[in-house]
Amino acid sequence: MPRVRPAHTRKRSMDEHEQPTTYDVHAVQSKWRAVWDELEPFRAGSAAPGPDGQPAEKRYALTMFPYPSGDLHMGHAEVTALHDVIARYWWQKGYDVLNPMGWDSFGLPAENAAFRNDEHPATYTYANIATQLDSFRNYAISFDWSRRFNTSDPEYYRWTQWLFLKFRERGLAYRKNSPVNWCPHDQTVLANEQVVDGRCERCGAEVTKRELTQWYFKITDYAQELLDGLDELEATWPARVVTAQRNWIGRSEGAHVTFEIAGHDPVTVFTTRPDTLYGATFMVVAADAPLAASLVTDEQRPALEAYLDEVRKASDIDRLATDRPKSGVPLGVTATNPVNGEQLPVWASDYVLADYGTGAIMAVPAHDQRDLDFAKAFDLPVRMVVDTGEDDPAATYVATTGDGTYVNSGPLDGLRDKAAGIRTIIERLEADGSGTGTVNFRLRDWLLSRQRYWGCPIPIVHCEKDGEVAVPEDQLPVLLPELRGADLKPQGVSPLAAATDWVEVECPTCGGPATRDSDTMDTFVDSSWYFLRYCSPQYTDGPFDVEAVRQWMPADIYVGGVEHAVLHLLYARFFTKVLRDMGMLDFSEPFAAQLNQGQVINEGKKMSKSLGNGVQLGSQLEEFGVDAVRLTLVFAGPPEDDIDWADVSPGGSLRFLQRAWRLSGDVTSEPGVDVGTGDVALRRVTARTVHDADELLASFRFNVVVARVMELVNATRKAIDSGCGPADPAVREAVEAVAVLLSLVAPYTAEEMWSRLGHEPTVARAGWPSVDPALLVTESVTAVVQVKGKVKARLEVSPDVSAADLEALALTDEAVVRAIEGQQVRRVIVREPNLVNIVV
């Protein structure tokens, strides 16, 4: 394994008093890690009061906690390196920072590993946590480890269960029987969000449907609020997360319209275009909805059943193809159009979804392509009711969806305004009780039952006499039974169901025989409130101490992967709003700002075992050291961009760090020297760098900050070698600034520099360098003189030069005079103090 060479002396002089030119990365790492373990510089609550005696302002730096699968990898390294720049910056700025970390430690991989190795899932889980904890410490992220916990700890999941029961008391957790996504490989149900392109997000197996009774959270009650809340997050959350959530919630405005059906209950449809009601020529209900079975005539029943068999055979992947031909069967009944009394044939088809809207639609083939395709397939009538000026859809089979003049539409005829048309029809429907304006959401309730072992047990007991009974609070947590190895094999029901001793209990209400609910919760439940627990991780009287949460929340920044744009982030927002309604929180959004990091890739491709292009974090750390790897990740580009490891240079990062470190050995002035007497040119560079870094950090432009620090290092090197010399106080000021700025990214190097500059540890809490505003004002600027937009001259002028003076200076400049010679000056644009443009 290649190692950084040990420190050696300069070749050009064998004098042993010469400064060494490199430091031993690994020796420095073990040295400072021990010092930090002693000092614990990052305890939340340890910031000094401000000069006015007031306690320091709080900052909560949150990063998505990991699942403990093996050791840390490049992805962890990147996200925590970026996150740590923010946390350490806040410490330097004097804030009191809460920067906690823990593990999202329930989940499938542990269970699979336990089955393979004939052990308990906890064995795998807690061994990996120990490994990752050690790696994080070595990686020098400024976490406050005193607050760590794991979601699989009974002290934690006790409160997950408690919250479940509170949600249930509020009617927000309920059971229903419905077709659910089923992963045949993992042998468990999946939420809609965990099905991607018809496949299991985790294992890639094709997802099928199953009819099961399952627990749901009623997130749809909060659909409107979850949507509205995005408005205030727009400024501080990545745009793609906000739009992804908006799309996912999928609000649409329209109307419920009720159609009478002779001999049946009336059927209500949802439509966004009630104004096209006169163009409805048939109705379609979802073939797999109970409604279809209840409407169908005896003559048509065999046809419907045959069709349903066909539909069920088609996988979700087939169903996702949007261009496949329309299919369906008539149900043999007709519905009455409430506005004109027309009898519309009712069909069943799989292009109508059972779980969106009411599971039934009115078909307006002239103005909806899907309905038109269906009408074409079964030769149903097409009636245009909005004349857009385009060809009649009945002839072209191209539905028109634009604005136009209403025709064949009774009271709407001749009207051109779509909004007015919609309003008119809704008013009419509401007047005669056959419909109402309404809003519909794409968002479905959150399916949370999982048929797995390694998760949070659902604290419910099923009793024949009393039905669903909540486990009393004083009996929480419902602990997992001890199962291992083959007991965990997926078998279609939760492994818990087979643990007879555990399942069979007395009913808490009547004392009679009862069974525990044997499903466990989706792990997204665990992660929907962990950020609250960090505020008071040892609290025993509730999930969190309300006062501690008031002190720290909301999180000021949440750093993590964009893959959680709609899953975790939506659920966490939902939990926050429910807890607020329970009176436990006084805010509605948990994460004030968000930063999504890109991925680390290699040679243009995602790193994977099958491609054999993986870059091991461990080997990079061994070869280049923690600081160089962190610096490389931060410097590679904007945080949200992907980093191609083939494009970056950890060796270059290490070289830079050594160069920066070397400066600290060259400084010959003493700590505390009066910098006011130092070289002004260098002082200006230092002041400008510190000032700009402040602004750049606030907008997460960490790569530019690093570039600016490199500039400062280069300028300082020059000042030492061929400028004011190593003894000048400005050199000390510059190098101290470099140490503090570098402490955000390269804490070991920064600490070593700080120590060589004669300071006590730790540089991490040294404080942000102060900047004399006078040094930010330049005494002269370069004004550019353009003739017809081309630069002809440069003038050194005072920054507060007047427009008239600058114009006069420009017009008398020799080069300018030459350039405009013989031409008519038509206009002179002056933008003092930077620019003069002469139009000829």
Partner RNA sequence: GCCCCUGUGUCCCAACCGGCAGAGGAAGUCGCCUUAAAAGCGAUCAGUUGCGGGUUCGAGUCCCGCCGGGGGCACCA
Which of positions 430-459 make contact with RNA (CB under 7 A)?
Answer: 440, 442
Which region among 150-158, 241-249, 291-299, 516-524 touches RNA (by CB under 7 A)?
241-249
Binding of RNA by 66 (CB under 7 A): no
User: What is the distance between the terminal CA atoms of the chain, rounded to a whole angstrom?
Assistant: 68
CB of 598 to RNA, least distance (A): 8
Q: Determine how many CB atoms are found less than 10 A away from the CB of residue 294.
A: 12
Which of 116, 240, 416, 818 lies at the binding interface for RNA (CB under 7 A)? 240
> Smaller CB distance to RNA: residue 5 or 313?
5
> Smaller CB distance to RNA: residue 613 or 703?
703
Which of 213, 297, 823, 834 lies at the binding interface for RNA (CB under 7 A)? 834
Binding of RNA by 625 (CB under 7 A): no
Which region among 138-146, 151-159, 708-716, 734-742 touches RNA (by CB under 7 A)?
708-716
Taking alpha carbons only, the member of 670, 651, 533, 399 closest to residue 103 is 533
Which region among 86-94, 515-523, 573-581, 648-656 touches RNA (by CB under 7 A)?
648-656
Which of 27, 611, 681, 829 lies at the binding interface for RNA (CB under 7 A)? 829
CB of 834 to RNA, least distance (A): 5
Binding of RNA by 489 (CB under 7 A): no
Judged on CB neighbours under 10 Å (0-12, 13-18, 19+), 344 is buried
> Smaller CB distance to RNA: residue 436 or 509?
436
Q: Report the sign of the C-alpha dihedral through residues 657, 662, 667, 670, in that order.
A: positive
> Smaller CB distance to RNA: residue 5 or 17?
5
Binding of RNA by 703 (CB under 7 A): yes
Which region among 199-207, 218-226, 619-627, 635-643 touches RNA (by CB under 7 A)?
635-643
Which of 67, 106, 215, 248 lies at the binding interface for RNA (CB under 7 A)? 248
Structure tokens given for 122: 């906890």
> Smaller CB distance to RNA: residue 155 or 316?
316
CB of 189 to RNA, least distance (A): 17
CA distance 308 to 306: 5
CA distance 138 to 151: 23
CA distance 155 to 151: 9
CB of 362 to RNA, least distance (A): 7
φ, ψ at 332 (rounded to 5°): 85, 5
Binding of RNA by 636 (CB under 7 A): yes
CB of 209 to RNA, least distance (A): 13
Polymer length in residues for the chain? 840
Taking alpha carbons only, the member of 156, 147, 170, 148 closest to residue 542 is 156
Interface with RNA in residues 330-369 (CB under 7 A): 350-353, 356-357, 359, 361, 368
Task: Give the gyration radius of the chain's Cα atoms.
Answer: 34
CB of 317 to RNA, least distance (A): 11
> Smaller CB distance to RNA: residue 60 or 571?
571
CA distance 45 to 430: 59
In contact, 518 and 503? CB cutoff 8 Å: yes
> Smaller CB distance to RNA: residue 152 or 837?
837
CB of 155 to RNA, least distance (A): 35
> Smaller CB distance to RNA: residue 497 or 704?
704
Binding of RNA by 717 (CB under 7 A): yes
CB of 7 to RNA, least distance (A): 12
CB of 445 to RNA, least distance (A): 13
φ, ψ at 607 (rounded to 5°): -70, 130
> Smaller CB distance to RNA: residue 1 or 262?
1
> Smaller CB distance to RNA: residue 129 or 311?
311
> Smaller CB distance to RNA: residue 367 or 533?
367
CB of 243 to RNA, least distance (A): 6
β-bridge pairing 513-516 and 504-506:
antiparallel
CA distance 136 to 272: 52
Which of 394, 710, 775, 811 lies at the binding interface for RNA (CB under 7 A)? 710
CA distance 119 to 142: 34
Interface with RNA in residues 154-213 (CB under 7 A): none
In contact, 372 and 382? CB cutoff 8 Å: yes
DSSP H/E element including 468: strand 467-470
CB of 369 to RNA, least distance (A): 8
Interface with RNA in residues 649-688 (CB under 7 A): 649, 651-652, 655-656, 658-659
Which region among 239-247, 410-418, 673-681, 796-804 touches RNA (by CB under 7 A)?
239-247
Number of H helices, E strands in the chain: 27, 32
Question: 3-state DSSP call for residue 515?
Answer: strand
Site mask for RNA (CB under 7 A), range 298-337, x = bound = ---------------------xx-x-x-x-----------
Binding of RNA by 647 (CB under 7 A): yes
Interface with RNA in residues 761-800 (CB under 7 A): 782, 784, 786, 788-789, 791, 794
DSSP one-letter string for 161-218? HHHHHHHHHTT-EEEEEEEEEEETTTTEEE-GGGEETTEETTT-PBPEEEEEEEEEE-
In contact, 547 and 58? CB cutoff 8 Å: no
DSSP 8-state code for residue 79: H
Count how many Cα atoms sit within 13 Å of the Cα of residue 367 in the half-sphere of its side chain: 25
Taking alpha carbons only, the member of 34, 35, 28 closest to residue 7 is 28
CB of 349 to RNA, least distance (A): 8
DSSP 8-state code for residue 789: T
CB of 271 to RNA, least distance (A): 4
> Smaller CB distance to RNA: residue 154 or 651?
651
Amino acid at 546: V
Amino acid at 752: E
Structure tokens given for 273: 């275009």
CB of 662 to RNA, least distance (A): 8
Interface with RNA in residues 269-288 (CB under 7 A): 270-273, 286
Amino acid at 508: P
Binding of RNA by 638 (CB under 7 A): yes
> Smaller CB distance to RNA: residue 507 or 742?
742
> Smaller CB distance to RNA: residue 3 or 794?
794
CB of 644 to RNA, least distance (A): 6
Which region among 302-310, 517-525, 539-547, 705-713 touches RNA (by CB under 7 A)?
705-713
In contact, 667 and 757? CB cutoff 8 Å: yes
> Smaller CB distance to RNA: residue 239 or 419?
239
Binding of RNA by 405 (CB under 7 A): no
CA distance 425 to 437: 9
CB of 658 to RNA, least distance (A): 6
Total chain residues near RNA (CB under 7 A)? 78
Spell out a b/e string for 599-638, using b for 16 or more CB atoms within 10 Å of the CB, else e.
bbbbeeeebeeeeebebebeebbbbbbbbbbbbbbbbbbe
Phi-psi region of 760 (alpha: psi -120 to 50; beta: other; left: phi over 0): beta
Taking alpha carbons only, the member of 515, 479, 521 closest to residue 498 is 515
β-bridge pairing 343-349 and 282-286:
parallel
CA distance 33 to 836: 57
Binding of RNA by 247 (CB under 7 A): yes
Which of 39, 227, 244, 407 lies at the binding interface for RNA (CB under 7 A)? 244
CB of 407 to RNA, least distance (A): 20
